Structure 1
Amino acid sequence: MIRILLAEDDRVMREYLTRALERSGYAVSAVDRGTAAMPLLENERFDLLLTDIVMPEMDGIELAQKASEIAPDMRVMFITGFAAVTLKAGKQVPQAKVLSKPFHLRDLVLEVDRLFEAENAGFN
């Protein structure tokens, strides 16, 4: 099963995203800030870091950079509602996918599915 670490400071958004991804067959561990994600990254294996960019204590870009040191094969997808932040994320973590808010939950699941299509094809 593909494991996703979700870092999103908005509780309602975090719950919606978790439910949508779990319904689609993903295992999700959700935290409310980047600093809470670090111990999980150090002690567990995740296939995808799905993170908001603008969060207190540690933003999603810094989290993604630290995560790539710990788990270089883990994929990264940013979610944000700020266009300027999207540009910054693209420059600092160029291999990451950026999904701009607002988005439909179905679009998020489709993007995550696309990231793992090759691996999922082997399980069918």
Structure 2
Amino acid sequence: MQPTGTGRTDDQGTDFSMIRILLAEDDDVMREYLARALTSAGYHVTAVDRGTAAVPYIDSGTFDLLLSDIVMPEMDGIELAQHTAKVAPQTQVMFITGFAAVSLRAEENVPQAKLLSKPFHLKDLVREVDNMFGRSDRSSQQ
């Protein structure tokens, strides 16, 4: 699934659809839900269902943000983030998880990553991503 951004701009004319997000989430419903929210917010989103499916995209080095669940089959989000740090260090990382113990492990292994704990509201996710890319003005208007 590769929905694209809407081409929205901020007051300075910056086109945020150029910001590319790679979403790795093994839950089909959650993946669709998150991708739709981020696309509606103006981001270009590529969504995959597991960490191993994300690797070729990361290796291309064209993403601004890796948004990843932590607990996934084959390759977990922490391993994916560590791979990302090696091959695409410019790519920021944000984890989403519903497990407190797993979030502690993420903070220890990838301390520079943002962490969003489930459950969260879509507005919270969009606000966090907006803040990462300097879009906080838009977030405060919602």
TM-score (norm 1): 0.93
2:38 counterpart of 1:21: yes
CA distance in 2 between counterparts of 1:95 and 1:44 reads 18
Gaps of 5+ in 1: none
RMSD: 1.5
Question: Rg: which structure is higher?
Answer: 2
| 1:95-106 correspondence runs (5 A) | 95-106=112-123
1:87, distance to aligned residue in structure 2 (A): 0.4
2:19 counterpart of 1:2: yes
Letter in 2 for 1:89: A
Q: Deviations over 1:21-78 (max 9, x none)?
A: 0000000000000000001111250000000000000000000000111111110000
2:64 counterpart of 1:64: no
Letter in 2 for 1:88: R
TM-score (norm 2): 0.82
Match of 2:56 in 1: 39
CA distance in 2 between counterparts of 1:44 and 1:97 reads 20
CA distance in 1 between counterparts of 2:54 and 2:110 reads 18
CA distance in 2 between counterparts of 1:82 and 1:24 reads 27
| Counterpart secondary structure, 1:56 | coil
Q: Which has the higher helix share?
A: 1
Match of 1:82 in 2: 99
Alignment length (residue pairs): 120
CA distance in 2 between counterparts of 1:12 and 1:102 reads 14
Gaps of 5+ in 2: 1-17, 138-142
Compare relative contact order (CA 8 Å, sep 6+) and give the higher one, 1 or 2: 1
